[in-house]
Amino acid sequence: MAGATGSERSGTHGFVRPAFAAPHVAPDRLLAYAAVALLSLAAFLTLFLFRAQDDNRLTSWRWVLADADVFWITPVLAAGLFLAAALVRVPFARRRPAGVLFLCSFAVAAVSWGEPEVIVDASRYFTQAKHLELYGLAYFLREWGGQIAVWTDLPLIPLLYGLIFSLAGEDRIYIQVFTTLLFSASAVLTYLIGRTLWDEATGFCAGALLLGMPYLLTQVPLMLVDVPTMFFLLLAIFTTLKALERGGTGQLALASAAVALAFWSKYSAWIFLSVLPVVVLVRLKQGPRPVLLRALVLFVISMVLISATLLPMFDVVGKQLDFLRSYQLPGLARWEESSISTFLFQTHPFITAAALVSVYAAFKDRDARCAIVLWLPALVIVLGINRIRYILPVFPMLALMAAYGLREIQRAEIRKYIVLCIVASSLTLSVFGFRPFLQQTSAVNLQQAGEYLDTLDVPEVEVIALQQRHVVINPAVSVPLLDLHTAKRLIFHSDGLAPTAQDVKTSALRFTWEYTNPMYYAAGGRRVEAVVIIADDDSQSLPAGIEQRLVGYNLSRKFIASENVFGYQTIVRVYLAGH
């Protein structure tokens, strides 16, 4: 970039190899630090004042932050910005930047492991994984789309979750460790892509910026497929870059396998894999003939791997694609969130600003390599994908854009301080805003009830899910979410549950009404000594038939936490048989 020295370009004075300077800070540098810190505080306070504009469906600032919060969160943020200034000259990533990124990102994400499963889609992935755990891999592959209801899911991630359950045990912590490892590996892959395209400093900056996206941090502990999809997409991009650069049987085979894994992670990844032809076009300047030959070999091997695994489930995939076209595509307009929410409130305005600068810088310098990282964010904008969970796998490309844009700032220490301020702001919002809010949602009742059930000396627990009165959702979806948090065998009957509204076919929760009650919830032969009632309100009355069944049972414990925001509520009461 204009005005940058050669040493700064190669990363010598950037994140990875910061120079040691005199203990005192020059007045102009101190002034720059103060300006960045004040802008960071101003950005937070401005977003707080306009928080009503945040229409995120999970962690909107209008729910997360109340008027009183600003008076104690602001000093915490200010302390974080001061600490960031002290860390600027610490050479913590001098020798092992990848290791530092991995450990820091893992530690940051692990803080949120106590977060409940707040997105009901987790019930699908848990149910699919449990089928593999109980009945084996052969059954899983044979019954995918048959006895195993799959909605619009692809099998790779549930398969991995099921293998984890089979090998380590059916405990949520193992899934959280796995997804956190994939998130940390994603930060490292982001660094490696940036280093491959430009230099170590840019790569490290991009990897660190993934920690500056508070919404992303909320998704890491959840049993969903978005974070694993992000990892497999990044793996496909990085291995393709290396395979086109170096060639070789091993590199091409690894890249082909990575492409196939990304293909089977999520349907949206099919669209995002369109970045790979862009990678080929950019790499052509290395030598058209070898690059095209390597690209052809990579394409052929990838297609062989994908086709071999696609043929056995071709009918299932075909039906899913037709359903995506008729249901999911029109639904995007109904479930969308604004770009203002996604790129200002749920990530960070500095990241968005730097990403916009990167577009200018790329055209100014005629840097064709930027096309690789610009492609996916541009594709999201052109296609109008305004749902943050759907574009989460693109966040590393946004981080790489921002890191490239920050290169326009000549002083490496100021660039580093900006990144640290972004991370400090994100962690403050995550730890003192998003995390407390999510931990007071009614989803925490299922988590705490599951833990309580594990303390009881009962072999089986019957679950009764009452009709939800305020949202078109099948309450049966609560049972797998409870099952995720307890080791007890659950018994459940879904008879009598039916939608009470006519708009279920266009609802984002339509999948819950196509829920198939798994065989493993069938009643056993023993007397049930514990009954769990899941209601939408603590005052919700019991139907006469259920009330009669509870004669002889005593209320043992209630879990009634509620954020009073979401329509879907899970208030839990546990009854034990009297003796």
**Phi and psi at residue 242, to the nearest 5°:** -70, -40
- Going from the C-alpha of 469 to that of each of 222, 475, 521, 524, the distances in angstroms are 26, 10, 25, 30
What number of residues does the chain have? 579
Q: What amino acid is encoded at 387 in this protein?
A: R
**Phi and psi dihedrals of 327, rounded to 5?**
-115, -55
What angle, 0 to 180 degrees and rounded to 10, lies between the N-to-C axes of helices 349-365 and 370-383? 120
**Residue 22's pLDDT is what?**
41
Order across the sheet with 489-492: list the strands.
Answer: 489-492, 460-465, 530-535, 571-577, 553-559
Q: In whole angstroms, give the CA distance from residue 418 to residue 100.
A: 18
Domain map of the chain by residue range?
A: 6-438, 443-577
Q: What residue ranges in 443-579 does DSSP mark as E strands?
A: 460-465, 489-492, 530-535, 553-559, 571-577
| pLDDT given at position 496 | 65
**pTM of the predicted model over 0.95:** no
Distance of alpha carbon 466 from alpha carbon 473, whole angstroms? 11
User: Taking a C-beta distance cutoff of 8 angstroms, is the pair 575, 530 a contact?
Assistant: yes
The DSSP result for 510-522, as a single string, is GGGGG----GGGS
Four-point Cα dihedral 123, 124, 129, 130, nearest 10: 60
Q: What single DSSP character describes residue 148? A: B
As given in the structure block, the two tokens for residue 516 are: 């198939």
Angle at 158 between CA 266 and CA 253, to 5 degrees: 65
Place of tokens 């000396």: 457
Distance, in Å, from the CA atom of 41 to the CA atom of 75, rounded to the nearest integer, reads: 10
Which pLDDT belongs to residue 2?
40
pLDDT score, position 5:
41
Q: How far apart are CA 553 and CA 200, in angstroms?
A: 64
Give the pair of three-digit tokens for residue 257: 């396998």
User: What pLDDT tens digit does each residue of the chain (579 aa) get?
Assistant: 444 444 444 444 444 444 334 445 577 888 999 999 999 999 999 999 999 999 999 999 999 998 778 899 999 999 999 999 998 888 766 779 999 999 999 999 999 999 999 999 999 999 999 999 999 999 999 999 999 999 899 999 999 999 999 999 999 999 999 999 999 999 999 999 999 999 999 999 999 999 999 999 999 999 999 999 999 999 999 999 999 998 899 999 999 999 999 999 999 999 999 999 999 999 998 788 999 999 999 999 999 999 999 999 999 999 999 988 888 777 777 778 999 999 999 999 999 999 999 999 999 999 999 999 999 999 999 999 999 999 999 999 999 999 999 999 999 999 999 999 999 999 999 999 999 999 999 999 999 999 999 999 999 999 999 988 888 889 999 999 999 999 999 999 876 676 766 677 777 788 888 877 788 998 876 779 999 999 999 988 888 888 888 999 999 999 999 999 999 999 999 999 986
Nearest to 114 by CA among 424, 433, 438, 423: 438
Partners of 139 in the β-ladder: none
